[in-house]
A and B are shown apart, each in its own frame.
Chain A
């Protein structure tokens, strides 16, 4: 006999993500899911970003890795509350699921926080598939990774609301074709804002900070 089921396989995650979304709305917190491959500079960008959002916007950060608390240690120096999630000491989950983010968020005091950044596990594939209850998603691509990554990992660039092209300070030493990468991004996500930045020099940060501030203020004020 055939039994109709009609259920999303990831419905457990989607339900949890909706609960997170409700909680974040009650707390008036804007949640940004930040994704990229490992080593693109998510942590460095955040180190420089949270300070520039002050005094209007107070941030908190949840950072996900397979192992180590290195990122939390670096980010804690900025003075913002940080929680590290390690998915497994011997190499665990490839993404942060909604329940993991929900648990971490409940350990943070969000009363004075306007922006919660979730720095996802470095991976251009799986994190794109899991809703964590965020308001916006950004993808970071560093210029050392190659121009064709947007078309190689289309889902990530499709689901994100903005892209950061990081490490532009290295451009003089690379054969990286900036026009080609932007063209590749536009194929996947034609109206996506693209910010060319260097976390090292903070070059190009103004438009990224302006965009982020606008998003946060739209939700929280």
Chain B
């Protein structure tokens, strides 16, 4: 929903991560992990990122989004599965006591940066 705020936060973190010794640094790619439960719409995020990076060292950088599926583990029987729908009931034993193993990520993994001319 608030993809612009998230885009600005990504730009800030990425800008702070550019090594200080690079001359005219140009960020070519930002690698991001986004969980399916993080309520971030990749298309909107890319659009906001493109708009907000104008005239910055990040302009033209590719925002690479790896979508992380929602995986859950049953606390009663230990069974793990990937949830396709937001239903958090164990597929094996019907227990509702479930740990989320992944799906809430919203992480910057790395940036790929080159020295400019």
- Report if A and B associate in a common complex: yes
Please give the residue numbers on chain A whose beta carbons come within 8 Å of chain B beta carbons, in ascending order.
1-12, 93-95, 123, 125-126, 128-129, 151, 154-155, 158, 186-191
Q: How far is the CA of A6 from the CA of B39 in the complex (A)?
A: 20
Query: Which listed residue (B9, B14, B37) contacts A5, Cβ 8 A?
Result: B14
Closest CB of chain A to B4's CB: distance in Å?
11
CB distance from B67 to the nearest CB of A (A): 14
Q: Is the CB of B37 within 8 A of A7?
A: no
In the complex, the answer to whether B88 meets A5 with C-beta atoms within 8 Å is no
Asked if A9 meets B107 with Cβ closer than 8 Å, knowing A95-B2, A158-B88, the reply is: yes
Q: Which residues of B contact A190 (CB under 8 A)?
A: 88-89, 95-98
Is A125's CB under 8 angstroms from B1's CB? Answer: yes
Please name the residue on chain B nearest to A93 by beta carbon. B2
Whether, in the assembled complex, B52 has its beta carbon less than 8 Å from a beta carbon of chain A, the answer is no
B96 touches A191 (CB 8 A): yes
Complex contacts, A151 vs chain B, CB 8 Å: 86
Which parts of B7-65 form the interface with A (CB within 8 Å)?
Answer: 9-10, 13-14, 17-19, 32, 37-39
Cβ of B99 < 8 Å from any Cβ of A? no
- For B107, the chain A residues whose CB sits under 8 A away are 6-9
Which A-B residue pairs are the 4 nearest by beta carbons?
A190-B96, A154-B86, A126-B1, A5-B108
| Chain B residues positioned under 8 Å from A94 (CB to CB) | 1-2
CB distance from B97 to the nearest CB of A (A): 7
In the complex, besides A6-B110, A186-B96, 16 extra interface pairs with C-beta distance below 8 angstroms are A3-B112, A5-B108, A5-B110, A7-B13, A7-B17, A7-B107, A9-B9, A9-B13, A95-B2, A123-B1, A158-B86, A187-B86, A187-B89, A190-B89, A190-B96, A191-B97
Does B109 belong to the interface (CB within 8 Å)? yes
B86 close to A1 (CB less than 8 A): no
Asked if A129 and B38 make an inter-chain contact with CB atoms under 8 angstroms apart, the answer reads: yes
Complex Cα gap A186–B89 (Å):
9
- Chain B residues, Cβ within 8 Å of A129: 38-39
Determine the distance from Cα of A7 to Cα of B105 in the docked complex, in whole angstroms: 10
Contacts of A12 in B (CB 8 A): 9
Q: Is B6 an interface residue (CB 8 A)?
A: yes
Is B109 in contact with A5, judged by CB distance below 8 angstroms? Answer: yes
Inside 8 A of B97's CB, which chain A residues have their CB?
190-191
Q: A186-B96, A188-B86, A190-B97 are in contact. Are A9 and B112 (CB under 8 A)?
A: no
B117 part of interface (Cβ distance < 8 Å): no
| Nearest A residue (CB) for B7 | A9
> In residues 85-116 of chain B, which contact A (Cβ within 8 Å)?
86-89, 95-98, 106-114
Q: How far is the CA of A80 from the CA of B44 in the complex (A)?
A: 41
A187 to B72, CA, bound (A): 14
CB of A64, distance to nearest CB on chain B (Å): 14
| Cα distance A83–B40 in the bound complex, in angstroms | 30
Q: In the complex, what residue of chain A is closest to B38 when comparing beta carbons?
A: A129
The answer to whether A188 and B88 have CB atoms under 8 Å apart is yes
